[in-house]
Amino acid sequence: MTEQRDLFPGALEMMILQTLKRKQLHGYALVQHIKRTSDDLLQVEEGSLYPALQRMLKAGLVKAAWGVSATGRRVRTYQLTLEGRKHVEREVSSFERMLEGITRVLAPARQRS
């Protein structure tokens, strides 16, 4: 099965978790938030959010409940669980280490060019 990958495996999930860390959101709001925050630099297919959310639901990182939004719309809101919170901290710190590594490798190349 061909998997449509985002930036790198797990990036979308990490962004979702990080966003949910601040406040609970429903799917549409989540996507809009990620797009907005990244200044539309990340071209995320909106729908690709849902398989990721389903996986995290199954893994128990998030939980979902139907409710009514501020605009009076029936929405399914996602909230981070305790385990999700731990998970995102672990992931983010390891991601930052990786990013730092990549930056160091790329930096001299950029100076030379």
Partner 1 sequence: MNWWRQLFSRHAMYSDLSEEIREHLQEKVEELVAGGMSHEQALAAARREFGNAMLLEERGRQMWQWSWLENILRDLRFACRQLRRNPGFTLIVVLTLTLAIGANTAVFSMVNALLLRPLPYRQPERLAALTRHLGGVLPGGRVFEEADSGHDGETWELVRDNVPSVLPAAYKPGSNGINLEVNHQVRYVHNQRVSATFFDVLGIQPLLGRNFTQEEDRPNGPKAVILSYAFWRSLFAGDANILGQAIHLKGVPYTVVGVMPPGAETTAAADLWTPIQPWRRGEGGGINYRIVMRLKDDATWAQVDSQLAVLHPGLFDRFRKDMKAQLMATPFQEALAQEKRTPTLILMSAVGVILLIAAANLTGLMLVRLSRRKDEIRTRLALGAPRSAIMRQAFMEPLLLSLAGAFCGLALALLGLKSFAALFPPDMLPFGGISIDGRVLTFTALCTAGVSIFIGMFTVSSSGHVQIRPTTAGRMSGDGAPSGRTRHLLIGAEVCLTLVLLAGAGLLVRTLVYLQTLPPGFDASNVLTARASLDNPRYHDPAAFQSLVRESLAAMKQIPGVESAAVGLSLPYEVGLNDGVKILDAPKGKDELGSSTAYITPEYFRALRIPILAGRAFTDDDASTSEPVVVVNVSFAKQHLGTLDVVGLHLGLGDTICSVVGLVGNVKKPPGMFMNAPLSTEPMFYIPFTQVDQPYLKLVHGWFQPSWMVRGQGPIAGLPEAMQRALSKADPELPFSSFHSLDDLEATALSQQRVEVLLLTVLSGLAFLLSIVGVYGLVSNMVVQRRREIGIRMALGCQLGQAMTTVAGSGLVAVGFGLGTGLILSAFALRVLKSQLYGVRNLDPATLIGVSLFLLSAALLASFAPTLRIARIDPAATLRAE
Residue 100 sits in the site that holds partner 1 (CB under 8 A): no
CB of 92 to partner 1, least distance (A): 23
Token pair of 24 as six digits: 């609970």
CB of 106 to partner 1, least distance (A): 31
CA–CA distances in Å: residue 75 to residues 33, 64, 78: 16, 10, 10
Identified binder of partner 1 from the candidate list 5, 23, 73, 86, rule CB under 8 A: 73
- What length is written for the chain? 113
CB of 51 to partner 1, least distance (A): 4
Residue 5 sits in the site that holds partner 1 (CB under 8 A): no
Within 8 A by CB and 6+ apart from 68, the residues are 74, 75
User: Contact, 84 vs 61, CB < 8 A?
Assistant: yes
- Binding residues vs partner 1 (CB under 8 A): 1-2, 26-28, 45-48, 50-51, 53-55, 57-58, 60, 64, 66, 73-76
